[in-house]
Amino acid sequence: MGHNSNIKSMKLYNHVDRIYNELKELGKINSEFLFVEELANFDQLHYCGTEAVDFSINKIGIDSSMSILEIGSGIGGPARYIANKTGATVIALELQSDQNNIALDLTERCGLSKKVKHVCGDFLTYDWKGKKFDAIVSWLALYHIFEHKILLQKCFDSLKSGGFFYSEDLFSRKPFSKKELSELLKEIYANYLPDVQTYKSEIEKIGFNLLFCQDMSNEWTKFTRNRYLSYNKQKDRHLRVHGRDIYNSINSFYTFIDRYFSKGKLGGIRLIAKKPHLY
């Protein structure tokens, strides 16, 4: 069983076609045109939705001349949002083929296939044939990857000189017990949860200049609590739109995340690093 199938123990990544239930609810039943804005409530699987994507666009200064790589692009929400808002070209890399297929379909329906290129693959082994990017961005995906040093080295090597690395990721605020770690591995496929100091120093050791680092733990604790409460509050609506299996699955996932953040052990980080200009 490769890691691609193990990642499916994470309930958020099951029933990924549930987005079509939401589209049906909007009256979009067939393959008609979609607006990025219509999808934004359902296709941003990280925290704080498009606000978080806007933050990276503004901080990095993403514009139409840039080529961006997103690692762990899911069903394509951030990639489409960036391309639509800035005109940048986005390569959206996703490990799971079911998510990648849905992403392709939604991007086509938004008329963004020229700007967003979907690629199904594993960042650690994918060969970019020497292509280098202006920025690499990632939302809540890198903690899935155990080989962090290899990951960061590959990010560094895949960036143009002066290029940006933007990551929103999970870390541990307090050490986890063995039991907690195995639960985190199963429920959120957490393979790498260092403390914040380790996270930052590994990035600097690779050769990046760390430009910005924000502890998001308090904000994400609030966000995940509200998400869980509002999902519960709309139980009847979700049962009608999605059915019991999907409701139970997502509800259980949101409950789990809320529990770990509110314990004060799971933390969140948002950071930007830059590959130095090589003269």
Distance of CA 188 to the CA centre of its chain: 12
**Is there a contact between 248 and 277 (Cβ–Cβ < 8 Å)?**
no
Cβ atoms of residues 90 and 68 within 8 Å: yes
Q: With b meaning 16 or more CB within 10 Å and e meaning fewer, what string describes 190-214? A: bbbbbebeebbeebeebebeeeeee
pTM confidence score: 0.94
Q: Provide the pLDDT confidence category of residue 2 given band limits of 50, 70 and 90.
A: very low
Checking if the pLDDT of 263 tops 90, the result is yes
- What pLDDT band is residue 279 in, cutting at 50, 70 and 90? low
Residue 207 falls in which region: left (phi positive, over 0), alpha (psi -120 to 50) or beta? left
pLDDT bucket at 3, cuts 50 / 70 / 90: very low
Angle between the N-to-C axes of helices 235-242 and 244-262, in degrees from 0 to 180, rounded to the nearest 10: 140
Please state, in angstroms and rounded to a whole number, the distance separating the CA atoms of residues 246 and 231: 12
Q: For 114-158, write each residue's pLDDT tens digit.
A: 999 999 999 999 999 999 999 999 999 999 999 999 999 999 999
pLDDT in tens, 179-200: 999 999 999 999 999 999 999 9
Retrieve residue 154's tokens. Answer: 């590959």
Q: What is the CATH number of domain 3-274?
A: 3.40.50.150
pLDDT digits (tens, 9 = 90+) for 6-36: 766 566 656 778 888 999 998 887 778 999 9
Per residue in 196-240, pLDDT (tens digit) is 999 999 999 999 999 999 999 999 999 999 999 999 999 999 999
pLDDT at 113 over 70: yes
pLDDT tens, residue by residue, 61-97: 999 999 999 999 999 999 999 999 999 999 999 999 9
Whole-number Å distance between alpha carbons of 78 and 90: 10
The domain ranges of the chain are 3-274
